[in-house]
Chains A and B, each alone.
Chain A
Amino acid sequence: MDATELARWQFGITTVYHFLFVPITIGLSFLVAGLQTAWSRTGNEKWLKLTKFYGKLLLINFAMGVVTGLVQEFQFGMNWSEYSRFVGDIFGAPLALEALLAFFLESTFLGLWIFGWDKLPKKIHLACIWIVAVGTVLSAYFILAANSWMQNPVGFRINPERGRAELTDFGAVLTNKVAVITLPHTVTGAFLTAGALMAAVAMWHLVRRPGRDTEAFRSAVKLGSWTSLVAMALLFITGDIQGKIMTEVQPMKMAAAEALYSTEQPAPFSLFTIGTLDGSRPVWSLDVPRVLSFLATGTFDGRVQGINDLQAEYTARFGPGDYKPNIPVTYWSFRLMIGLGVLAALLALWALWSIRKGRSPAPHKPSTRLLMWGMIALPLLPLAANSFGWIFTEMGRQPWIVFSQMKTAIAASPAASSGDVITSMIVYTLLYGALAVVEVGLLLHFARAGLPDVTPPPATESDEDRPLAFAY
């Protein structure tokens, strides 16, 4: 493998890993803010207990999101210096804005939230977690604006003298239609994930520890499951719009999502295909007629361009070359994204059903045992769906790093040798592997621990010696 190939693997691995933590952080920070608001409004102690319980899971997860995010910012320069030179005039600004507007907000107010339980007035302390939550979405917006520019470059011109893309309209970059639709799709994906995590953990307690904080955990199952269900509905809507925009700006990606080789009108959507090894020809497939036409164009008899026609069109436009992404990868990642997301929503529905009207799943019944397996899968499915979504959207852009402007093959760092990239790959793999074990261990530990005691410390102690709340 050459350095570029290695750098691509590294980007894929580190980004997918980073994005395991990001959606949980985004979704859970809002849910925790919601729980704390409920406590502040009602004074009911169960909400405070849930706030602290899920708050702890949020913090364990947040730390990983922050540190793995560092790698992302450095990586553009370290592994992709030619890319950085080409796009820096445009791509750097959203990154700088993300740090200045979002990261400062998140880190500072998270610190205030963690350590401020007894130092800040209640209302201000509550505002802190809301600010953190808003910060996570701001951050998502800026980085998605940057990514969307790679999918659909707008607001720029090419300066042939300096050999780079130069910004001409920053407003166009920030309101890129791909960014505007990708943000809600990504954020609702985050809510699907965080809701699933919340519901699954709470359900585990209801079944395994009956009688302990039942009322609170029932509320958490409901909140988490409903969040996931609403998120899934929104994912369909946003995903549908996104598909139509994608068909418009990156038709090859849509064709690759279906492995549609020749242009068809109307085009079917295949749920499952057994293809030849190179993916160029289906052996057998299960098709639903006209659905791809609808996904791509909004009408059931729309024309969808096929890969071969697009290849010919791109060759005429950009010169000879292979303009096809890796078809089996795009085909399957697209299906897995949708399928696993839907499965998660169904499991959330099952969780709600099992506690309907004050019922609780009886332990030792076979259906309960099955439900427990479902609850283990529940948070993992959206995590996988998120990853496949990103794999699809990034692999579907290939061979371009910036669609229609720069190919991935010429974007890597000339100064970074294969040895350098292998070294960093080994370091990240070992480090990330070890941290995954630690993080999952801690999450399970605290998820099992149950709700914390929230009785305030005796008031007799002087203020000087009062222990710090929530100290490290």
Chain B
Amino acid sequence: MELSTLWFLLIALLFIGYFVLEGFDFGVGMLLPVLGRDDRERRVLINTIGPVWDGNEVWLITAGGAMFAAFPEWYASLFSGFYLPLLLILLALILRGVAFEYRGKRPAASWKRRWDWCIVFGSVVPAFLWGVAFANIVRGVPLDAGHDYTGSLFTLLNLYALLGGLTMVALFLTHGAIFVALKTTGDIRHRANLLAERLGVCAAIAAVLFLGVTLLRRATPAAVVLAVLAALCLVGGLIANRMPSRTDPQGRREGWAFAGTAAAIALAVASLFADLYPFVLPSTVDPLTNSLTVTNASSTPYTLKIMTWVALVFTPIVLLYQGWTYWVFRKRIGTSQIPEEPAPVPAAGGRAT
């Protein structure tokens, strides 16, 4: 296999990792006001993803860095072309990251409410816009001979791309609800189960529509197979979400359900990449000359070879310790484990007398 093809696969893998992992923490973020009825419940929700969300986000940074290193032309055209959506994504991710860290730092309800909205905004917006962005990547955008984007913001907001955005949001909502059910106890778990049932149906409809339209435009055999598998996994996960747990009659088979939605997201994204190959950013104008492909966008074989070795050595290590984090924090949590507010800070400016 050509190294550039290998790197196309690796970048696909990094984005799959990003969407599967950050997908559920986006979902949890979006569901914060829905599943968290009071502050204590919202803290339960945030603490389910507390130790891991930042590590999940690094998948995006790594994907971006890998794209820059392996396909500089792709990185350059995509990031300068999708300027305003990316700006919004950055704004959202900044607010969200700060919100997790800062919301618990002051006791005032208004303080927390504001950060809660930052978390919701910071989860919905990137979920939707990544869907829009990937739909446009697969669909193709107008590029000139220098591979520079010539469209406007509204070129990107076409119906197909908006459907992609909605699909992403629906999938992440379902994925997040099932994650909450998997990680909590008591009432929240139950409500998350029920919500996942309803959200799952929406997600399934949206995903089938979106992948269907994608494959009608252009279908490669691999993309079709992966899309069908994605649909099956989603349905399987939703069925598991309805089956009673063997250990706890109140609960459902959330582990299997989560595996199902995770696999569905992974396979759906894989299907998009399979449909894209060998392009990385097709052009709708003069596609034969202006499109970016794995060949004309890639770095030199020397750079790719070095990167391949680094990836082969370090990716397993990363997976190992990230996996370990999930193991350390594997226990379910409930409202009873949320500590009281920290004691209020003594009045400021207490000068010595």
CB within 8 Å of B: which residues of A? 59-60, 62-64, 66-68, 70-71, 73-74, 76-79, 81-82, 84-85, 87-93, 95-101, 103-105, 107-112, 114-116, 119-120, 164, 166-168, 170, 207-210, 363, 413-416, 420, 423-424, 427, 431, 435, 438, 442, 445-446, 448-450, 452-453, 464-469, 471-472
Supposing A67-B94, A413-B80, A468-B333 touch, asked if A116 and B102 sit within 8 A by C-beta, the answer is no
In chain B, residues 262-315, which have Cβ atoms closer than 8 Å to a Cβ of chain A? 299-300, 302-303, 306-307, 310-311, 314-315
Q: Tell me whether B337 and A472 are in contact (CB under 8 A).
A: no
Q: Tell me whether B78 and A92 are in contact (CB under 8 A).
A: no
In chain B, residues 60-77, which have Cβ atoms closer than 8 Å to a Cβ of chain A? 61-62, 64-73, 75-77
Q: Is the interface of B mostly helix, strand, loop or mixed?
A: helix
Q: What would 21 A/B residue contacts be, using CB atoms closer than 8 Å? A: A76-B68, A77-B68, A77-B78, A84-B75, A88-B75, A92-B303, A95-B69, A100-B318, A104-B62, A104-B318, A108-B321, A166-B303, A414-B148, A415-B80, A415-B81, A435-B94, A445-B106, A445-B345, A465-B336, A468-B333, A471-B50
Residues of the A chain whose Cβ atoms lie less than 8 Å from the Cβ of B216: none
One of A85, A101, A209, A424 near B314 (C-beta < 8 A): A101
Q: Tell me whether B55 and A448 are in contact (CB under 8 A).
A: no
Residues of the B chain whose Cβ atoms lie less than 8 Å from the Cβ of A107: 54-55, 57-58
Supposing A67-B93, A104-B58, A471-B47 touch, asked if A92 and B337 sit within 8 A by C-beta, the answer is no
In chain B, residues 77-105, which have Cβ atoms closer than 8 Å to a Cβ of chain A? 77-81, 83-84, 86-87, 90-91, 93-95, 97-98, 100-105
CB within 8 Å of A: which residues of B? 43, 46-47, 50-52, 54-55, 57-58, 61-62, 64-73, 75-81, 83-84, 86-87, 90-91, 93-95, 97-98, 100-106, 146, 148-150, 299-300, 302-303, 306-307, 310-311, 314-315, 318, 321-322, 325, 328-329, 333, 336-340, 342-343, 345-346, 348-352
Min Cβ gap A116→B in Å is 7
Q: Tell me whether B64 and A74 are in contact (CB under 8 A).
A: yes
Number of cross-chain contacts by CB at 8 Å: 262
Q: Tell me whether A446 and B105 are in contact (CB under 8 A).
A: yes
Q: Tell me whether B102 and A92 are in contact (CB under 8 A).
A: no
Q: Tell me whether B338 and A111 are in contact (CB under 8 A).
A: no
Q: Tell me whether A427 and B87 are in contact (CB under 8 A).
A: yes
Alpha-carbon distance between A210 and B353 when the two chains are bound, in angstroms: 10
Q: Tell me whether A73 and B64 are in contact (CB under 8 A).
A: yes
One of B51, B73, B342 near A85 (C-beta < 8 A): B73
Q: Tell me whether B80 and A93 are in contact (CB under 8 A).
A: no
Q: Tell me whether A167 and B55 are in contact (CB under 8 A).
A: no
Residues of the A chain whose Cβ atoms lie less than 8 Å from the Cβ of B80: 77-79, 81, 413-416
Supposing A76-B68, A93-B307 touch, asked if A104 and B97 sit within 8 A by C-beta, the answer is no
Alpha-carbon distance between A446 and B342 when the two chains are bound, in angstroms: 12
Q: Is the interface of A mostly helix, strand, loop or mixed?
A: helix
Supposing A96-B69, A435-B98 touch, asked if A104 and B55 sit within 8 A by C-beta, the answer is yes
Residues of the B chain whose Cβ atoms lie less than 8 Å from the Cβ of A414: 80, 146, 148
Supposing A66-B54, A168-B302, A450-B346 touch, asked if A472 and B100 sit within 8 A by C-beta, the answer is yes
Q: Tell me whether B68 and A96 are in contact (CB under 8 A).
A: yes
Q: Tell me whether A108 and B77 are in contact (CB under 8 A).
A: no
Min Cβ gap A102→B in Å is 9
Residues of the A chain whose Cβ atoms lie less than 8 Å from the Cβ of B103: 472
One of A77, A88, A168, A466 near B299 (C-beta < 8 A): A88
Q: Tell me whether B65 and A95 are in contact (CB under 8 A).
A: yes
Q: Tell me whether A468 and B58 are in contact (CB under 8 A).
A: no
The 9 A-B residue pairs whose C-beta atoms are closest, nearest first, are: A88-B72, A77-B79, A92-B69, A92-B68, A96-B65, A467-B339, A413-B80, A63-B101, A81-B76
Alpha-carbon distance between A93 and B345 when the two chains are bound, in angstroms: 46
Residues of the B chain whose Cβ atoms lie less than 8 Å from the Cβ of A104: 55, 58, 62, 318, 321-322
Supposing A85-B73, A107-B57, A111-B50 touch, asked if A471 and B299 sit within 8 A by C-beta, the answer is no
Supposing A88-B73, A99-B65, A108-B325 touch, asked if A59 and B303 sit within 8 A by C-beta, the answer is no
Min Cβ gap B251→A in Å is 16
Q: Tell me whether A78 and B303 are in contact (CB under 8 A).
A: no
Q: Tell me whether A98 and B65 are in contact (CB under 8 A).
A: yes
Q: Tell me whether A167 and B302 are in contact (CB under 8 A).
A: yes
Q: Tell me whether A471 and B339 are in contact (CB under 8 A).
A: yes
Q: Tell me whether A416 and B83 are in contact (CB under 8 A).
A: yes
Q: Tell me whether B84 and A100 are in contact (CB under 8 A).
A: no
Residues of the B chain whose Cβ atoms lie less than 8 Å from the Cβ of A416: 80, 83
Q: Tell me whether A472 and B90 are in contact (CB under 8 A).
A: no
Q: Tell me whether B352 and A210 are in contact (CB under 8 A).
A: yes
Q: Tell me whether A103 and B68 are in contact (CB under 8 A).
A: no
Which residue of the partner chain B has the closest CB to A115? Answer: B51
Q: Tell me whether B328 and A100 are in contact (CB under 8 A).
A: no
Supposing A108-B55, A210-B352 touch, asked if A99 and B61 sit within 8 A by C-beta, the answer is yes
Min Cβ gap B63→A in Å is 8
